[in-house]
Amino acid sequence: MRYTEQNKEGENVMFELKKYTVTFITNCETSLESISIIEGEKLSVPIQLVKEGYLFEGWYYNDENWNFETNIVTSDITLEAKWSLDIEIIWNNPEVNNVKINETIQLDMKLYPLFLEQTFLYETSDSTVASVDENGVVTGLSSGDVVISVYSKEYTEYVYNINIIVWDNYIVETINNLKTQPDDSVVVT
């Protein structure tokens, strides 16, 4: 592409503009058309992409993050979208947050996105208060509070901590037997 411009002396000077092609690799279901851009110009940010179960990390050129505010195009380039998994561990039965001594509760956990392997590792913060097996079954051993940590077996950096209260049978029976009197006082029967 050529154009003419006058210099300071008023003389017409011929310039040639170079055009380059920018290609986009989205790594998702949405595709973007290649565009032409004049050498030295900045690119506009493409449309926002969506990929279920992933977070968009940005556009990369030769493994370097492309900065649309400062980078300029000086040759044909390919920008590639980078994605990372959007992992979350969810506790599906949070109402099950206490257990009596010598009884058990089952933790119902899910790893999102659901296409990931649904295998978990469990740890207890105090094995004298409660134990937890490889299937997420918590057994109350003595009165107190305990934290059960749930990890994705494949993605161990993701953890979900669950606070569990272990009750003595006597305390639970006493609470269940409380009655409220008309004057709002509480009497144990």
Using one digit for the tens of pLDDT, what is the confidence trace for 58-114? 999 999 999 999 999 999 999 999 999 999 999 999 888 999 999 999 999 999 999
The token pair that represents 114 in the structure block: 């659901």
Q: Please tell me the pTM assigned to this model.
A: 0.65
- 177 or 142, greater pLDDT: 142
> Quick one: pLDDT band at residue 4, thresholds 50, 70, 90?
low
Tokens at residue 111, please? 């790893």
* Helix or strand holding residue 172 (H, E): helix 169-176
- Give the position of tokens 């790893």: 111
Give the span between the Cα atoms of 50 and 60, in whole angstroms: 16
E-strand ranges in the chain read: 2-6, 12-16, 19-25, 35-38, 54-61, 64-65, 77-85, 88-91, 98-100, 104-106, 109-112, 120-124, 130-132, 137-140, 144-152, 159-167, 178-180, 186-188
Take residue 44 and report the two structure tokens written for it: 């506009």
Q: What is the CA radius of gyration of the chain?
A: 31
